[in-house]
Amino acid sequence: MKKNGSVPYTKGSSLLNVSQDYELALAANEQVLELKNWFSSQQQILTWGGPNLVYPVADDDFITILRAPHLNSYCVTDSAKHLLAFGQYYLRLDRYHLGRLAVNPHYRNQGIGKILIAGLLEKAVKNSKPREASLFVFKDNIAALHCYQNMGFREETYPEVMPENMPNCVYMVLR
């Protein structure tokens, strides 16, 4: 653990074997705004961020939505401090719920999503009791579905009424 509370990931890490140094740290506003540029349409922003986001979205509104008090927002950077991924977690139905997971389009299919998820889970379990995690993913997001399945997430029936704005989503749980 680095002095600033960030979690470093290096080759031989207990979570993942990666070939480059990565760091998971709380997301700064500048990184949140850089993240905003990864989306170029209403469909992209809706798929990633949910119904509270519209495209285009003003910088202040984007930051306000992503900085809601119940959300823990983190980013993965490389040794050159390039923003590689972003994700959030919060408590939902007595599980750590991962949300708004995104990998920089220039760094996809390189295992960064797994690094992000492993880091978020490591941070989450240090903060309180639940030992299970959950997330939603759109059925047509095949790359994300495979990533989550490879990490041990399994599709389950959502224990409440499925949110109205998520008819094409799968609910997945990691036990």
pLDDT digits (tens, 9 = 90+) for 104-155: 999 999 999 999 999 999 999 886 778 899 999 999 999 999 999 999 999 9
* pLDDT value at residue 20: 66
Backbone angles phi, psi at 144, to 5 degrees: -65, -45
Per-residue pLDDT tens for 1-47?
233 344 443 333 444 444 468 999 999 999 999 999 999 999 899 88
Strand pairing partners for 121?
none
**Domains of the chain by range and CATH?**
7-174 (3.40.630.30)
Amino acid at 46: L
* pLDDT value at residue 12: 37
* pLDDT value at residue 110: 93
Angstrom distances, CA of residue 41 to CA of 44, 111, 133, 161, 175: 5, 25, 29, 28, 34
Determine contact, residues 174/151, Cβ cutoff 8 Å: yes
* pLDDT value at residue 10: 38
Determine contact, residues 85/114, Cβ cutoff 8 Å: no
The DSSP line for 34-94 is HHHTT--SHHHHHHHH-TT--SS--HHHHHHHHT-TT-EEEEEEETT--EEEEEEEEEETT
Query: The whole model's pTM is what?
Result: 0.87
Token readout for 46 is 């809706």
